[in-house]
Amino acid sequence: MAEVVTDLTVREIERAVTTVLGRSVRLQDDTDIARDLSVDSLALMNIVMELEDRFDISIPLDRLADIQTIGDLSALITELRA
């Protein structure tokens, strides 16, 4: 069940990233946000705001420092939704 939730979370992250970056992206758990997506801090904040709206959560800014991959972000969202 957790894998299904994570997969759905990754799909929602993919939609948010596509919206913010204005280009289609395919994400996997090991996708590096900064390196693979060329996301700067402003774009990351816009992605975070988009995800907060989509999941009706608040992502603490201090937790973002630990986020490197889409899997990390998905795990954080899953944890905050629990």
Q: Which fold has domain 2-81?
A: 1.10.1200
- Alpha-helical regions (H) of the chain: 2-21, 33-37, 41-55, 61-64, 70-81
Residue 64, token pair as written in the block: 């973002």
- How far is 82 from 69, CA to CA, in rounded Å? 20
What are the tens digits of pLDDT across the range 70-80? Answer: 999 999 999 99
Cα first-last separation, the chain: 13
Q: Encode pLDDT of 1-57 as tens digits.
A: 455 556 889 999 999 999 999 999 999 999 999 999 999 889 999 999 999 999 999
Please tell me the pTM assigned to this model: 0.88
Hey, where are the domains in the chain? 2-81
